[in-house]
């Protein structure tokens, strides 16, 4: 049995689907379906059971055993809204919840693979897994930063697998429920279909119009890395998960326009509410991931956006 928290969310549902494709049907999805539209993400998946996130945490807090042996926990559940400033809520959902699941896994010697975030690096410019490079710009980033530090203190003495993966800008299928927090590729595709044009932010932080750069990674690559670590249970640590190369937002826009064969690109003023809390540049240093043994190539923006839009526009 494999447990995926946030299993009806973006990355979690892609994990569930990939596990199914491996022949694994004994998957327990943990999530919060207050937003019922997320059910669509797992409607084509085969799962063993579903648990509400509050039911799940009560079960492990009471130290109850599950009916089957747990092979791994993929902890993908979190509040991922970088614009959420309710720090009490964020720390409860992203920090305290994660600690509770972690200690349950350590006690039971269950591999624990969790989602961290490139937001821990803030404005950068060095994106390498070391505390000297970490300075989050928002409370979401801080909640991930603090949990990574908590894990670091435990890692030297753990006797079962613990892996934190710092996701950079992930995009791809099953993210439509995220609304404003869905990827720029998703929004640009919708804009082009609705209005025949796509819009990007004008320049900021010394970057030209649409030239802010991010490390965009296609979700299937993220899933491949998660499953690789599950297959290599002797590997523990905190690792960046990006492509290792940044590309400008203009590349995403042009890939969307190229796919459809039409559309205009326009620039809109940079929003005041994002000034000072926006990452204008990210680029994962993936040397630690490569040293751990993962050697597969990652899709470029052009490759990934093409795959995504073929899926999205079926």
The 3-state DSSP class for residue 27 equals: strand
Among 82, 236, 199, residue whose Cα is nearest residue 144 = 82
Other beta carbons less than 10 A from residue 38's beta carbon: 23
Is 104 tagged catalytic?
A: no
Which residues, listed in sequence order, are joined to residue 265 by a DSSP beta bridge?
A: 198
Q: What residues contact 163, with CB distance under 8 A and at least 6 apart?
A: 111, 112, 113, 114, 229, 235, 236, 237, 238, 239
DSSP result, 133-194: G---SSHHHHHHHHHHHHHHHHGGG-SS-EEEEEE-EEE-SS-GGGGGGS-HHHHHHHHHHH
* CA-derived radius of gyration, the chain: 19
Is 171 tagged catalytic?
A: no
Determine which one of 104, 112, 140, 167 is catalytic: 140
Determine which one of 59, 99, 178, 199 is catalytic: 178
CA 126 – CA 130 distance, rounded (Å): 9
Tokens of 184: 């720029």
Q: What residues contact 98, with CB distance under 8 A and at least 6 apart?
A: 75, 78, 114, 147
Distances (CA, A) of 67 to 194, 274, 298: 49, 47, 38
Q: Is beta strand 197-201 parallel, antiparallel or unpaired with respect to 169-171?
A: unpaired
Contact present, 158 and 105 (Cβ < 8 Å): no
Q: List active site positions.
A: 140, 178
């Amino acid at each position: 049995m494999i447990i995926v928290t946030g299993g009806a969310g973006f990355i979690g549902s892609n994990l569930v689907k990939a596990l199914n494709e491996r022949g694994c049907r004994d998957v327990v999805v943990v999530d919060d379906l207050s937003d019922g539209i997320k059910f669509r993400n797992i409607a084509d998946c085969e799962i063993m059971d579903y648990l509400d996130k509050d039911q799940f945490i009560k079960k492990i807090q009471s130290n109850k055993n599950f009916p089957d042996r747990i092979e791994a926990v993929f902890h993908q559940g979190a509040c991922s809204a970088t614009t959420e400033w309710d720090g009490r809520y964020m720390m409860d959902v992203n920090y305290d919840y994660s600690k509770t699941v972690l200690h349950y896994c350590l006690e039971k010697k269950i591999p624990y693979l969790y989602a961290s975030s490139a937001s821990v690096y803030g404005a950068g410019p060095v994106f390498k897994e070391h505390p000297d490079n970490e300075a989050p710009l928002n409370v979401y980033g801080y909640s991930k930063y603090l949990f990574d530090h908590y894990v670091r203190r435990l890692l030297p003495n753990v006797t079962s697998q613990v892996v934190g993966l710092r996701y950079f800008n992930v995009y791809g299928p099953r993210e439509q429920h995220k609304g404003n927090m869905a990827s720029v590729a998703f929004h640009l595709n919708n804009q082009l279909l609705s209005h025949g044009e796509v819009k990007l932010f004008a320049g900021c932080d010394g970057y030209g119009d649409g030239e802010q750069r991010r490390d965009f990674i296609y979700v299937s690559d993220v899933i491949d890395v998660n499953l690789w670590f599950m297959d290599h249970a002797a590997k523990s640590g905190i690792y960046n998960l990006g492509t290792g190369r940044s590309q400008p937002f203009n590349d995403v826009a042009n890939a969307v326009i190229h796919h459809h064969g039409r559309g205009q690109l326009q620039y809109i003023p940079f929003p005041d509410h994002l000034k000072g809390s926006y990452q204008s540049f990210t680029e994962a240093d993936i040397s630690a991931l490569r040293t751990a043994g993962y050697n597969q190539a990652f899709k470029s923006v052009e490759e990934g956006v093409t795959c995504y839009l073929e899926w999205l526009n079926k």
